[in-house]
Structure 1
Amino acid sequence: MGLRRRTFLGLATAMGVAALTGSNSELALARDSGKTLTFGLSANVGNLVYGPSRGAAQFIVNQQLHRGLVKFDENGRIVPALAESFEAVDPSTYRFTLRDGLTFHDGSPITSATVKASLDYLANRSVGAAIYAALSTLASIETPDARTVVIKLSKPNASFLDYLADPNAGISPASALASGAANWIGAGPFKLQANDSGVSLTLAKADTYYDKDNVALAGIKFIYYPDSTARTNALIAGDVQMIDFVGWEDFDRVEADKKLVLDAVPGPFVYMLFNTERAPFDNPKVRQAVAHAINRENVVAAAFYGHGTPLNGIPVSPGNDRFDPKMGELWTYDPDKARALLASAGVAEGLKVSLLTSSTYSFFRDMALSVQADLQAVGIEAELDAPDWPTYTASKNSGKYGLAVAGGAPSVTGPVYLQAYVVGAPASSFGSYGYNASDIVAHIQAGEALSNDAAARAEYMKAVDIIRDAVPFLPVAQRSQAFARSNTVEGFKNLPGFLSITGTGYMLEKTSIR
């Protein structure tokens, strides 16, 4: 089979990018001000653990502390990271050559055996790794020598390299390969200097990083501002130089300040999860009812101040030839149909369910309030549970909810990303708790193995037809995602589309301060 355009570009440029990396050292040193960037971060990252997805704030921190075999560059392409080169031996086999002399921040060596141990751990279904869907077809990992890793899949996956660039796929030391183990020691451009729990996190430039000469910043201090208004106020006042997750209500305020830069792109999406292990959401008719009960226009207005797009089906990434427009046309806003489906399911009016959201992000709360009103209108009483972000993620990943608000930002652009969202938790930290998606995954993987885009689309549509009727997860809206920074901060770029969440953190390595 032929590999995707993105994969071919990455493979074609892998050696060239690796060769050019060192040649930029003098330019990097010329702009190096030795300054520490102060960054207002939207959530307390809590204890970093290896594998599961725990939200955008942790993605950003992971991308400073850790590195995988490959990463995304400023154009969204796959480029070498810990691997100095890589190649597709055939559609199911990838060979990586590690850089010479790699170490973690504590000086311990990184060899092919280290890589194998990390990927084997992520491939364990019980870990709930963000990239489990990609590693579920892992056949073997061979380590013929200390610098060579050969990964064989049981079937082709043209997006495999994209998954390896996910911020949750960094190579980690043996001490992190256990449930709940701390994962602060990595091989990224910055290392942990101080952790003032619940307040701030200070990182210093790592002299062990393979590309340290091209890192301009002396360090990054992340200061936690869970409230979006407080975060924007801190930027305007000069208390911080950059923030993530600019509140949609603050776009105009930031744009009006000539000392600031708003960097907004369309990309991530919000969706609903169901606990399918218990009534009433073990019944697909009840899940369908929710799909038709939600007024997505109201969600966009309430949660994103109009800076978003309603989703009546599967979110698509622009320009990908494997999407069919019909994938975006699965459910309509139809309260009468929702009531009829509830009646058909034998659910009486006055049904009470829990609705998990989080107090950390205002749009999570506002979306939940909008959904709560829509459910009330069709006879479902949803009681909100809005803890802080660490508690929210723990509850979501352990199934302590009936319904839950969630946010999605795939690290791949094709329909294969759906695997992570249909596979049920705890195997996938993105999916509805307990859902068995084996039939959907079979069609997705069959499509991924086809080189002909039209044939692949037909196979993906079979998966989407099941999603329409089973509603394993429920997309609601695609939102604009923004970072904001002082105009003295240079070299940073918010990557477009889904990569705004999963790829942009890599850009801090290229950031400098005038």
Structure 2
Amino acid sequence: MKNPRIARALAVAAGLSVSALVVSACSGGSAAPEPPSSEWELTDQTPAPSGDIDSFTWSIYAEPFSLDYAYAFDYADNQVLANVCESLLRLNPDFSLSPGLAESYAQPDPNTWVYTIREGVTFHDGTPLTAADVVASMTRHLDPAVGSFWYSVYQNVTSIEQTGDREVTVTLSAAGSQFNLAMGGAAGVVESAATLAETGADYGNSSGGVNCTGPFRLADWKSGESLTLERYDEYWDADLAARAGEVEFVFQADPTARVNALASGEVDGTWMVPAAAYPQLSGSDAGDVYFGLTTAVASLIVSNLEGPLGNAKVRQALLMALDREGIVQAAAGGVGEVTDVLTTESVWVGADPAAVETAFEDVDHYEYDVEAAKALVEEAGVAGEELVIVTAPISGEFAVISQATAAAAESIGLTARIESVTPGAYTSLFSDPSAREGVDLFFTNWYLSSPDPLEMYAVLRTGEFSNYGNWNDPEFDAVVNEAMAIDDPAARSIQTAKAQQIANEQVPWLPLYTTPMSMFLGDRITGVAPSIAFMYYPWAATIGAR
């Protein structure tokens, strides 16, 4: 099975560009210098449109790999797909869930979810949405021949059946709160069963296309150049009827070309603005840079627990030796903040406030302290041992992280070697255990797709595919498994807070920082929420004329 997390490590970085490659961690001092101030603020929603607009253009840093929802796990894929295809539930810009193609749902017992399918919905070819389409769409994730990137959501599913004219029942082998929460993302997308059968292997590519129910339909896909969506006038939800007649996505891999196109007005907008361009675009007359809700945390994955990082004290020492404030300045243009945990507060939806406080405040805060870190390394008896850090020429962020990590390791008595591989080989780190042999650390910017932090900690359990270092903590596993069986989000959050505390202490991954989602809107358009929910919410439908 293909690994569902590959895209996450690469996509964020591909959208970034930084000019500084050396951070103050290289100095090896015992106290971090005061970073320069960077002013930024979060925006929930941009101003409402004054009216509709005939068309607008949008820049993407890469061409979508596929519009097949089974493989939609990347920013480039999902920012298009979210406007064309819809899920059983809707993940909103504030990361709440509401009814989508399922007008309601119920959990009659801990192992069963029942979805009532909305009436009056049509696919873009005019055929009506049925329960049979839902069954066919969901069942694909269980087919080994498909190799769905979302298989992990379905791994405990024992049956998906039509149990009424508009009813679909999903049965699980174990109690699972997380299954329903995932139905607001690509794992819950519904496609026409007839289209799936007719297009076969061409489904989702530039030849086969897609036939879904969203506010836009796929009109044209010029491979290597652009992709055009047009408004679907029979869309079922009047509140999200598209304000634009057409949206053209242009593929611009070169960050400089993207920025120039935005500054000149050639392109109207983009997600994930290159960080080095924040000052230029913020100060231009072409439009505005906005920052919004994120669920991503930049981290170093510990992929080898047989070497010096097998000792939690050494992992803690390395985190303490990293000048993470300096890294935020160099890698993210100063827009972001250091974090000691692997989730953001934005995904703790419905959580007990006391649990949130526990999860973020009652944890270890790894302040920059090289001398204390040196002492931990000496105590562990691993001074002089080598760390292998793998990087790739994907963006300046990768260079910042790898160089800062190597410098931090050297500053506390370890040795470090940076190995640079091709982007394709870097991808293999997430999918092929043999590619990780002899590798101690590699970088990821890991985002969550559901409004629950348990999504993060579930993948760190013993034996999970994305537990890349094979970290094993029985107490952690027990806490997460207990939380998985709790349906009430407030009660579940109490257990999840315990999992966050254990991960914070044991640092199987080293959390570095979190940065808000960035977005640029040109002076012709407005109306969109600058939230990472653009991955699954039909954001382009809300954009109209300024």
The answer as to 2:490 corresponding to 1:471 is no
**TM-score normalised by structure 2 residue count:** 0.73
What residue identity is the alignment partner of 2:456?
A: L
Matches within 5 A, 1:94-493: 94-100=113-119, 104-105=123-124, 110-122=129-141, 134-153=153-172, 157-158=176-177, 160-172=179-191, 174=196, 182=204, 184-187=209-212, 188-206=214-232, 209-211=235-237, 214-267=241-294, 268-276=296-304, 287-317=315-345, 320-321=351-352, 322-327=355-360, 329-330=363-364, 332=366, 333-335=368-370, 349=384, 351-357=386-392, 359=394, 361-378=395-412, 379-385=414-420, 387-388=422-423, 392-399=426-433, 400-401=435-436, 402=439, 403-419=441-457, 421-422=459-460, 427-428=465-466, 432=468, 440-450=476-486, 456-468=492-504, 470-493=506-529
Of 445-454 and 65-74, the range deviating more from structure 2: 445-454
Structure 2 CA distance, aligned partners of 1:105 and 1:301?
A: 46
Alpha-carbon displacement from aligned partner over 1:34-71 (angstroms, at most 9, x marks no partner): x2321011233334454456432222122123211111
Contiguous gaps of at least 5 residues in structure 1: 1-27
Q: Take 2:198 and 2:376, find their aligned partners in 1: how far apart are those partners?
A: 46
Instruction: Using the TM superposition, give the Cα deviation of residue 130 of structure 1 relative to its aligned residue in structure 2, in angstroms.
Output: 6.2
- Deviates most, 476-485 or 52-61: 52-61
Query: Per the alignment, do residues 191 and 127 of structure 1 end up closer, same or farther by CA in structure 2, a change over 3 Å counting?
Result: same
| 1:287-318 alpha-carbon deviations (Å, 9 max, x no partner) | 45544443321221211122111112233315
SS in 1 for 2:228: strand
Seen in structure 2, the aligned counterparts of structure 1 residues 408 and 348 have a Cα distance that, compared at 3 Å, is same
Higher relative contact order (CA 8 A, sep 6+): 2
Structure 1 residue 89 displacement after superposition: 4.2
Aligned residues: 478
Deviation (angstroms), 1:241:
0.4
Equivalent residue letter for 1:507: W
Alignment-mate amino acid for residue 276 of structure 2? E
Aligned in 2, Cα 1:448/1:426: closer, same or farther, shift over 3 Å? closer
Deviations 1:327-370 (A, max 9, x none): 553462444565566667775636252423552x4434433333
Question: Does the 8 A contact of 1:176 with 1:182 survive in 2?
Answer: no
State the TM-score, normalizing by the size of structure 1: 0.77
Change (3 A) 1:288 1:501: farther
Please provide the CA RMSD for this pair: 4.1
* Secondary structure class of the residue paired with 1:36: strand
Counterpart amino acid of residue 296 in structure 1: R
Q: Secondary structure at the match of 1:314?
A: coil
Q: How does 1:58-73 map to 2 (within 5 A)?
A: 58-73=77-92
Compared CA separation, residues 86 and 424, structure 1 to 2 (3 A): same
The structure-2 alpha-carbon separation of the partners of 1:330 and 1:302, relative to structure 1 and needing over 3 Å to count, comes to: same
- C-alpha change, 1:89 and 1:457, in structure 2 (3 Å) is closer
Q: Percent identity of the aligned residues? A: 24
* Range with greater deviation from structure 2 (119-128 or 131-140): 119-128
Instruction: Report the CA distance shift for 1:487/1:404 in structure 2 as closer, same or farther (over 3 A).
Output: same
Query: Unmatched 5+ residue regions in structure 2?
Result: 1-47
How big is the shift at 1:221?
A: 1.7
SS of the residue aligned with 2:162? strand
* Amino acid in the other structure paired with 2:452: G
CA positional deviation for 1:261: 2.5
- In structure 1, the partner of 2:15 is none
Q: CA shift at 1:239, angstroms?
A: 1.0
**SS of 1:396 mapped into structure 2:** coil
Pairwise CA distance, 1:95: 2.5
Matching residue's letter, 2:356 = F
Q: Tell whether the 8 Å contact from 2:95 to 2:451 is kept in structure 1 after alignment.
A: no
Alignment-mate amino acid for residue 383 of structure 1: I
Counterparts of 1:126 and 1:282 in 2: how far apart (Å)? 37
SS of residue paired to 2:133: helix
Q: Is the 8 A contact 2:216 2:242 kept in 1?
A: no
Could you say what secondary structure the match of 1:65 adopts? coil
Alpha-carbon shift at residue 415 of structure 1 (Å): 3.0
Rounded Cα–Cα distance in structure 2 between residues aligned with 1:511 and 1:309: 29
